[in-house]
């Protein structure tokens, strides 16, 4: 399926997401993939830009939190019901897991869209992902990371008020003497490269594609 077709489908999906039409959104995904589109292309060329646009509209106050949350829930349903099964049924699925990643939206933040995009991007590219959800305390993330014997732990936040909790997680790892056992990455709209350097994480990114590149590099260096 050509890029121009996917651009048209992206606009159609965006409209359905903004209207909160879950049935139409899922039908668009199913129809597009059944007509030959790669599930990864659908994710990167249709879902990704749609979520970015929704995020931009939220920041500009063109839409509000309930609409953004509803769109995120619909995208989660598309991922679970359409994208992941399609990837698992195709040759695009990695045979051996590249590594294990624990993801969470940090304490005080209820935003899920960016983290969900990263989780899916990592899953379809061969990583095992443990998604702890939203508003997760740093100590709980650390405990789960150790329990799962993960390779990487990732934190996300849209709110600058939650940035201190990211530092708390790094401090917790250091206090336990296990900081160097894990790759630590942060993302979302709030953290900057300067903040990432200040708190001592391995990398910071703003997109699912960046997160994949970062995780691949971390695993290559282990």
Q: How many Å apart are CA 86 and CA 6, to the nearest integer?
A: 17
Based on the domain organization, do 108 and 181 belong to the same domain? Answer: yes
Inter-CA distances, 74 with 26, 34, 112, 182, Å: 8, 19, 12, 32
Domain that holds residue 132: 100-221
> Is the CB of residue 13 less than 8 Å from the CB of residue 25?
yes
Residue 73 and residue 52 share a domain:
yes
Same-domain check for residues 64 and 135: no
- Flag whether 94 is in a domain: no
Instruction: Say if 187 falls within a structural domain.
Output: yes
CB within 8 Å of 171: residues ≥ 6 apart: none
Q: Measured between alpha carbons, how far is 218 from 33 in angstroms, rounded to an integer?
A: 32
Quote the pLDDT of residue 69.
82
pLDDT digits (tens, 9 = 90+) for 59-96: 788 998 889 889 888 988 998 899 888 877 775 554 56
Within-domain flag for 54: yes
Residue 185, beta-bridge partner list: 154, 203
Do 44 and 72 fall into the same domain? yes
The pLDDT value recorded for residue 179 is 97
Q: For 98-112, what is each residue's pLDDT tens digit? A: 999 999 999 999 887
**Which residue, of 27, 55, 88, is where some domain finishes?**
88
187 Rama sector, left if φ>0, alpha if ψ -120 to 50, beta otherwise:
beta
Q: SS3 of 102, please?
A: strand
pLDDT value for 1: 63
CA 191 – CA 186 distance, rounded (Å): 7
Residues 137 and 76 in one domain: no
95 within some domain = no
Same domain, yes or no, for 117 and 189? yes
Co-location of 210 and 120 in the same domain: yes
Output the domain CATH number for residue 162.
Answer: 3.40.50.280
Which residue, 65, 88, 111, sits at the end of a domain? Answer: 88
Token readout for 82 is: 């359409």
What local confidence, expressed as pLDDT, does residue 87 receive? 78
106, 206: one domain: yes
Tell me whether residue 213 is in a domain.
yes
Q: DSSP H helical segments within the chain, as ranges?
A: 3-18, 22-34, 39-42, 48-59, 65-78, 84-88, 113-124, 138-148, 163-175, 193-199, 208-221
| DSSP 8-class letter at 44 | I
- How confident is the model at residue 91, as a pLDDT? 57
User: Both tokens of residue 61?
Assistant: 């106050």
CATH number at residue 62: 1.10.1240.10
Where a domain ends, among 32, 53, 88?
A: 88
Residues 125 and 148 in one domain: yes
Of the candidates 40, 136, 139, 20, the residue with the CA atom closest to the CA atom of residue 82: 40
Tens digit of pLDDT at every position of the chain (222 positions): 666 689 999 999 999 999 999 999 999 999 999 999 988 889 888 988 898 788 788 878 899 888 988 988 898 899 889 988 887 777 555 456 799 999 999 999 988 777 887 888 888 788 999 999 999 999 999 999 999 999 999 999 989 999 999 999 999 999 999 999 999 999 988 999 999 999 999 999 988 888 999 999 999 998
Domain contains 173: yes
The answer on 110 and 70 residing in a single domain is no
* 81 and 108 fall within a common domain: no
pTM of the model: 0.74
Nearest partner of 52 among 5, 17, 6, judged by Cα = 17
Q: Is residue 93 part of a domain?
A: no
Q: Evaluate whether residue 206 is within a structural domain.
A: yes
Total domains, the chain: 2
């Amino acid at each position: 399926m050509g890029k121009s077709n996917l651009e048209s489908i992206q606009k159609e999906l965006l409209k359905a997401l903004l209207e909160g039409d879950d049935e139409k959104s899922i039908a668009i995904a199913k129809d597009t993939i059944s007509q030959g589109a790669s599930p990864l292309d659908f994710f990167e060329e249709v879902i990704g830009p749609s979520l970015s646009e929704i995020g931009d509209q939220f920041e500009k106050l063109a839409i509000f939190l309930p609409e953004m949350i509803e769109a995120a829930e619909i995208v989660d349903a598309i991922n679970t019901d359409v994208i992941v099964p399609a990837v698992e049924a195709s040759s695009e699925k990695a045979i051996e897991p590249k590594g294990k990643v624990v993801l969470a939206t940090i304490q005080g933040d209820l935003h899920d869209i960016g983290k969900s995009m990263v989780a899916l991007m990592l899953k379809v590219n061969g990583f095992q992902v443990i998604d702890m959800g939203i508003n997760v305390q740093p100590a709980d993330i650390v405990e789960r990371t150790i329990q799962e014997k993960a390779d990487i732990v990732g934190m996300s936040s849209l709110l600058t008020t939650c940035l201190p909790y990211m530092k708390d997680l790094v401090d917790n790892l250091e206090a336990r003497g296990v900081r160097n056992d894990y790759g630590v990455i942060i993302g979302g709209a709030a953290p900057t490269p300067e903040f990432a350097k200040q708190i001592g994480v391995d990398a910071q990114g703003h997109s699912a594609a960046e997160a994949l590149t970062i995780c691949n590099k971390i695993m290559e260096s282990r």
